[in-house]
């Protein structure tokens, strides 16, 4: 389906192009050749190594440079997904910060080989005609609870967005025990007195790779936007707050996630993560664990918590403090969440008594205030309130990020996704529901109606406009106001209609403001 909305900037590329950037493309590690995709004006380069395989002695180390190769390497197959350990085919993780995902989008991006530790590869979609085109760049970081996901997932296929005039980059980062093990031995040997954030180190390595190489694909290293969803959004916020991200990107987009995760809490410290790592490793030394095969390691190293921690290097302090003090990198942001986030996750209270007990345990002196907003006088009401709480707390976090960005002197654009995809039923506009629309990738069975195609075209145009100019607005699109104190509680609503309007009630936002203040004092 052809785009319904055309971007206004002059270098927009259309489906009438005869060819994209020619082969070979010369990188700092060697030359590569790509392949044409469905649109002859877009080329894709798959499975490009951006770092050395993190295996053997490189397991649990900062990513090292990829080896140089001679000749022209064919970049026509996705690299392996990263394994989280413990067997299985990978994919998106299940649980509080992961998901199984909707129906696959587009057969153009297969799942790739079986998961492996040798997984640090990047993929590039480019519509550029030549290396000198200097197009804006989006670097996508997938979600999956830090235990699953891949840059090769079909719903992240970058062709449709590339057709609108940007270079799209996806990549893999280390997961589970391989991406987030902290341990005193690792801290001591690191040279930074830090361990645990290897997945985040991979993200930084990709961004440095982009700075060195994206111009060869017709991209502009001075116009890089990082974007991610769920765990990917947490990594995006971590990089916005990290001194290691300075100068590597100019804008950021985060979808359903920020530095605290999906609920209000302090970040885990290095000491807490090291203690968990010691319990997981038991009597094994790091040298012994590095000598094990992937399979044996999965049997001997269990219970490693996956996620970004305050390691003192990549993340110098709890990022709530970083953002509150305005010490984050000064970048414009586009952030938001979905109306039915909570239907995606299991584990909430299913009875009135359980809901009330959890409210008292979590909110203490604020429990009565919480129960007025989220009543639990009957079991069904408790379940419904739990879903509303999940929706509002995630939305509050994104709004908090918008507020602190504006306070920092930069622009923020807030969105709220309410459209229910065909077949979602009671799950509604659940966590991840916006992904296929934002990427403009219909499901493989194309169950979308005309309204779905229209929404996807509009939403992807807003994203591309922001990536290109820092402003999502464009010709033919309803006006999206930048966040301000005057429009607090409002956002760009992506529903059956697209309009700037009410998001979460101010009384609910005010409650979480009070709760956040208490959490910070603990």
Q: Write the CB contacts of 384 (distance below 8 Å, at least 6 apart in sequence).
A: none
419 among known catalytic residues: no
β-strand pairing of 43-49 with 35-36: antiparallel
Q: Do the beta carbons of residue 337 and residue 416 sit within 8 Å?
A: yes
**280: closest CA among 308, 300, 310?**
300
Is the distance from CB of 43 to CB of 21 less than 8 angstroms? yes
Q: In the chain, how many H helices and how many E strands? A: 15, 14
44 vs 420: CA distance, rounded Å: 31
Which structure tokens are listed for 413? 């654009």
Q: 431, 434, 436, 453: which is the annotated catalytic residue? A: 431
431 assigned to active site: yes
Query: Per-residue DSSP letters for 350-403?
Result: -SHHHHHHHHHHHHGGGHHHHHHHS--SSHHHHHHHHHHHHHHHHHHHHHHHHH
The two three-digit tokens of residue 49, written as one number: 């190594």
Residue 16, Cβ neighbours under 10 Å: how many?
Answer: 8
Q: Which of 274, 341, 393, 434 is catalytic?
A: 341
DSSP annotation string for 208-276: HHHHHHGGGGTEEEEEEEEEEETHHHHHHHHHHH-GGGTTS-SEEEEES-BTTBTS--PPPBHHHHHHH
Strand order in the sheet with 30-33: 25-27, 30-33, 72-74
Interhelix angle 352-363/379-407, rounded to 10 degrees, is: 30
C-alpha distance from residue 88 to each of 82, 141, 221, 324, 438 (Å): 11, 21, 37, 40, 29
The pairs formed by 482-487 with CB atoms below 8 angstroms and a separation of 24 or more are 482/406, 482/411, 482/412, 482/413, 483/399, 483/402, 483/403, 483/405, 483/406, 483/411, 483/412, 483/413, 483/414, 484/406
Residues annotated as catalytic (active site), given as ranges: 230, 341, 431
């Amino acid at each position: 389906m052809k785009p319904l909305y055309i971007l206004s900037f002059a270098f927009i590329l259309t489906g009438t192009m005869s060819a994209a950037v020619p082969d070979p493309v010369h990188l700092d590690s060697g030359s590569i050749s790509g392949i044409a995709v469905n649109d002859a004006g877009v080329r894709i380069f798959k499975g490009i190594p951006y770092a050395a395989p993190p295996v053997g002695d490189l397991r649990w180390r900062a990513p090292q440079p990829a080896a140089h190769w001679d000749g022209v390497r064919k970049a026509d197959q996705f690299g392996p997904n990263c394994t989280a350990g413990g067997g299985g085919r990978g994919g998106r993780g299940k649980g509080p910060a992961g998901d199984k995902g909707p129906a696959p989008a587009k057969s153009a991006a297969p799942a790739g080989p079986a998961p492996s530790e040798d997984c640090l590869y990047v993929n590039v979609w480019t519509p550029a005609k030549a290396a000198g085109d200097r197009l804006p760049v989006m670097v996508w970081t997938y979600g999956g609870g830090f235990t699953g996901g891949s840059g090769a997932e079909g719903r992240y296929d970058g062709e449709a967005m590339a057709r609108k005039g940007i270079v799209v980059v996806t990549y893999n980062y280390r997961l589970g025990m391989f991406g987030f093990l902290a341990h005193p031995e690792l801290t001591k040997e690191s040279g930074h007195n830090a361990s645990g954030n290897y997945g985040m180190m991979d993200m930084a390595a990709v961004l440095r790779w982009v700075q060195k190489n994206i111009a060869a694909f017709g991209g502009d290293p001075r116009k890089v936007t990082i974007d991610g969803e769920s765990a990917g959004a947490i990594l995006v916020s971590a990089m916005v707050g990290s001194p290691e991200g300075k100068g590597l990107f100019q804008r950021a987009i985060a979808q359903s996630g920020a530095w605290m995760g999906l609920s209000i809490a302090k970040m885990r410290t290095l000491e807490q993560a090291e203690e968990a790592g010691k319990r997981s490793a038991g009597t094994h030394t790091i040298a012994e664990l590095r000598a094990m095969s992937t399979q044996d390691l999965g049997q001997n190293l269990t219970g490693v918590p996956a996620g970004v921690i305050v390691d003192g290097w990549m993340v110098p302090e709890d990022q709530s403090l970083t953002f509150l003090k305005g010490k984050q990198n000064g970048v414009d942001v586009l952030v938001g969440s979905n109306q039915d986030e909570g239907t995606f996750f299991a584990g909430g209270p299913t009875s009135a008594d359980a809901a009330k007990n959890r409210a008292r345990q979590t909110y203490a002196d604020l429990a009565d205030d919480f129960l007025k907003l989220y009543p639990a006088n009957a079991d069904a009401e408790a379940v419904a309130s739990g879903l509303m709480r999940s929706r509002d707390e995630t939305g509050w976090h994104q709004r908090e990020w918008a507020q602190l960005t504006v306070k920092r002197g930069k622009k923020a654009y807030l969105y709220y996704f309410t459209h229910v995809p065909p077949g979602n039923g009671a799950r509604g506009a659940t966590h991840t529901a916006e992904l296929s629309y934002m990427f403009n990738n219909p499901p493989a069975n194309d169950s979308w109606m005309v309204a779905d195609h229209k929404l996807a075209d509009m939403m992807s145009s807003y994203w591309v406009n922001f990536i290109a100019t820092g402003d999502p607005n464009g010709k033919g699109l309803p006006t999206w106001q930048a966040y301000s104190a005057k429009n607090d509680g409002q956002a760009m609503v992506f529903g059956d209609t697209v309009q700037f309007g009410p998001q979460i009630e101010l009384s609910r936002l005010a409650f979480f403001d009070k709760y956040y203040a208490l959490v910070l004092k603990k």
